[in-house]
């Protein structure tokens, strides 16, 4: 009999989600997860932004309280330029 643990469950779920992402595309899976969550709890769903290659690190020391990056720690280059202009 197979023993199931939290770790084995998480590993199985992770493998399943990665398979779906590789078949349908990571971006589509993230978008659909956000839309689905938003339909259940409007305004509380996470949203995805630009690809990491199109962003730069935020200037904040405490991303949880940052109004520029909303806790992501990443900004578009244009937003970072706007911050420089306000300093």
Binding site for Zn ion (CB under 5 A): 58, 60, 63, 66, 68-69
Nearer to Zn ion, 21 or 60 (CB): 60
Nearer to Zn ion, 38 or 63 (CB): 63
> Minimum distance between the CB of residue 30 and Zn ion, rounded to whole angstroms?
21
Nearer to Zn ion, 37 or 68 (CB): 68
Tokens standing for residue 24: 């349908």
How far apart are alpha carbons 47 and 30 in whole angstroms? Answer: 8
Give 22: exposed, middle or buried? Use CB within 10 Å, 0-12, 13-18, 19+: exposed
> Minimum distance between the CB of residue 52 and Zn ion, rounded to whole angstroms?
15
How far apart are alpha carbons 1 and 3 in whole angstroms? Answer: 6
> Minimum distance between the CB of residue 71 and Zn ion, rounded to whole angstroms?
7
């Amino acid at each position: 009999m197979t023993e199931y643990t939290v770790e084995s469950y998480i590993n199985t779920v992770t493998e399943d989600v990665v398979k779906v992402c590789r078949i349908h595309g990571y971006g589509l899976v993230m978008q659909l997860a956000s839309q689905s969550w938003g339909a259940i709890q409007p305004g509380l769903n996470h949203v995805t932004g630009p690809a990491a290659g199109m962003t730069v690190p935020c200037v904040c020391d405490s991303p949880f309280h940052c109004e520029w990056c909303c806790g992501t720690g990443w900004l578009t280059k244009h937003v970072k330029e706007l911050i420089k202009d306000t300093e």
